[in-house]
Homo-oligomer: A and B are copies of this chain.
Amino acid sequence: MDERAVKAAVLVIGDEVLSGRTQDVNIRQIAEFLSPLGITLGEARVVSDVQADIVEALNALRARWDYVFTTGGIGPTHDDITADAVAAAFGRPIDVREDALAILREWYAKSGTELTPARLRMARIPEGASLITNPVTGAPGFQIGNVFVLAGVPKIARGMLEDIVHRLEGGAVTFAIAVRIEGAREGDLAEALGQIAQDFPACSIGSYPWFEELPDGGFKRGVELVARGADESLLGAVKVRLQSLAS
């Protein structure tokens, strides 16, 4: 019950997210994957495909958080610079590595795919890193220190997370309960809600207004109240108090 909080960060690497062209879903996917392991996200960043920016963000995040998960930039094309940036952040040499190459050879042999020089780039792994299995397209991710380097394609990132679950040491699992109050407005609940938050300092309580457009042009509104904490029975008591706000 008195376990240490374990916190992680996500570093999304990619111009395509910053341009608005691609909707990132990896922050959410990684948060949902980590939560039952007793690991919560403390921060996320999105940076562009520029080595200096990746290095700076990665070094800041890995110093502060227990784990860092990067997504994107580990493919075979000219704009895939994550592996080199991670090596630079750690001050490690990087080159094509035999273990990664063997995986690519075996994978491509099965599908009759040619191991082009471009594909060889995907066997470039920083010295001292351990590989992460990619069950979707073969080319591995890697772990170096507390940093896990994953693919950007959500399906591949998800497959890689499955491979590293046993390398992660979680803390106290955080549970959440939610109470949805239709028709409520935050301003009407705020005082009573603030009192509940004060009465349960061990829980973190958030209030999120929502608006839903109706077919007739009008809209429905309400508030979603969410409480989080490590103690499920305490959360049960909080839930009762939150539900009382609906009346």
Residues of A whose CB lies within 8 Å of any CB of B are 14-25, 27-32, 35, 40-49, 53, 75-80, 113-114, 116-119, 121-122, 136, 152-153, 155, 176, 178, 185-191, 193-194, 197, 204-211, 226, 228
Q: List 29 A-B contacts (CB under 8 A).
A: A14-B206, A17-B27, A18-B41, A18-B43, A18-B44, A19-B40, A20-B30, A20-B31, A20-B35, A24-B24, A42-B53, A43-B45, A43-B48, A44-B46, A45-B45, A75-B209, A77-B186, A77-B194, A78-B197, A78-B207, A79-B205, A113-B187, A114-B187, A114-B188, A116-B188, A116-B191, A118-B186, A118-B187, A136-B211
- B44 near A45 (CB under 8 angstroms)? yes
Closest to A18 in B: B41
Q: Which residues of B contact A185 (CB under 8 A)?
A: 113
The 8 Å CB contact of A78, one of B40, B80, B190, is B190
- A23 near B28 (CB under 8 angstroms)? yes
Given contacts A18-B40, A18-B42, A20-B32, 12 further A-B contacts (CB under 8 A): A17-B27, A18-B41, A19-B176, A20-B27, A21-B226, A43-B47, A77-B186, A113-B185, A118-B187, A118-B191, A153-B210, A155-B211
- B187 near A116 (CB under 8 angstroms)? yes
The 8 Å CB contact of A22, one of B18, B136, B208, is B208
Q: Which residues of B contact A53 (CB under 8 A)?
A: 42-43
- A16 near B226 (CB under 8 angstroms)? yes
- B118 near A194 (CB under 8 angstroms)? yes
A215: min CB distance to chain B, Å: 16
How many subunits of this chain does the assembly comprise? 2
The 7 A-B pairs at the shortest CB distance, nearest first, are namely: A20-B31, A118-B190, A119-B187, A78-B194, A77-B207, A44-B46, A20-B32
A182: min CB distance to chain B, Å: 16
- B45 near A76 (CB under 8 angstroms)? no
Closest to A43 in B: B47
Given A76-B190, A190-B76, CB of A204 within 8 Å of CB of B15: yes
C-alpha spacing A96/B153, complex, angstroms: 46
Q: Which residues of B contact A49 (CB under 8 A)?
A: 206
- B153 near A79 (CB under 8 angstroms)? no
A23: min CB distance to chain B, Å: 5
A219: min CB distance to chain B, Å: 9
Q: Which residues of B contact A206 (CB under 8 A)?
A: 14-16, 49, 79
